[in-house]
A and B are shown apart, each in its own frame.
Chain A
Amino acid sequence: MDLQLGQAAIDDMILAVDESATNVIVHGYQGRPSSIEIEVAREGDSLVVRIRDRAPPFDPTTHPPPDLTLPLEQRRYGGLGIHLTRECTDAMLYRATPDGANELTLLRKAY
């Protein structure tokens, strides 16, 4: 399926999906064997990726942004995954599905 995407869109979305999926695996499922469903589509001018999981409910869109003004020595290790997801996408939308799954939708202009 040719989604006709610009390289920047591809690179950004790969990073955003990697960050989101990693968070589900590490923090949601805490490493337990489980599944994540990823749906990729082109909707109008946007690349849309939906990520569904059955980890405990978690809405990453409410996660506070990190303080990027801190010097390196005062920064916590990690905690940048959701920030990078926001930075790499035009929109990040969360919903709890009727059957109890987490669904994160990421949108980014396709070019």
Chain B
Amino acid sequence: MNTSVRQVQGRVPVAVLGVQGDLDASNYQDLIATATEVYGAGTKDILLDLTNTSFVSSSGLVAIHSIAILAQGEPLPEQDAGWGALRAIRQGLGTGVQEHVKLLSPQPKVVSTLEKTGMVEFFEIHTDLDTAVASF
């Protein structure tokens, strides 16, 4: 997997993270690290460009999930807590579609993976970059 990062200015600055190749157990932490860097540098809105993402496994979903939580300003769980790390239930938190992380042009089989896990409900999916950036 290769990741690209570019900043696009809409109403707000948006970091477009392009994910090329397979997003799986071998590299999902790299994507989280990239997003963490971007967020730490000050960009609070992230568009995951999945146009060239050929495959997303459950590990890839962990990355997308983590990035969404990160973009809410929350810390990520300890990496050494393992895959079973439970997040404390937070009361009074807004739920539903994520405001600060959106998806661009996922391929049908990636959409299928999002649908099979119910994750599709949490993310706006756009098919046009300009529309996606303007939506933040």
Contact = CB atoms under 8 A, between A and B. Distances in A.
B122 interface: yes
A1 interface: no
A3 interface: no
Contacts of A71: 93, 95-96, 122
Contacts of A26: 25, 83
A87 interface: yes
B84 A76 contact: yes
Contact of B84 (A18, A69, A73, A78): A78
A89 to B, nearest CB: 11
A79 B83 contact: yes
Given A18-B24, A68-B118, A80 B61 contact: yes
A11 interface: yes
Interface in B84-134: 84-87, 89-90, 93, 95-96, 98, 109, 112-113, 116-119, 122
Nearest to B116: A87
Interface of B (DSSP majority class): loop
B62 A84 contact: no
Q: Rank and list the top 5 A-B pairs by shortest CB-CB distance, nearest first.
A: A71-B95, A68-B118, A78-B83, A80-B58, A87-B116
Given A11-B112, A26-B25, 9 more contacts: A18-B57, A71-B93, A72-B65, A72-B69, A77-B65, A78-B83, A80-B58, A83-B116, A88-B116
28 contacts: A11-B109, A14-B55, A15-B109, A15-B113, A19-B57, A22-B24, A22-B57, A26-B25, A69-B118, A71-B95, A71-B96, A72-B68, A72-B69, A73-B90, A73-B95, A77-B62, A77-B65, A77-B66, A77-B85, A77-B87, A79-B83, A79-B84, A80-B58, A83-B117, A84-B58, A84-B116, A87-B116, A88-B116
Interface of B: 24-25, 55, 57-59, 61-62, 65-66, 68-69, 72, 77, 83-87, 89-90, 93, 95-96, 98, 109, 112-113, 116-119, 122
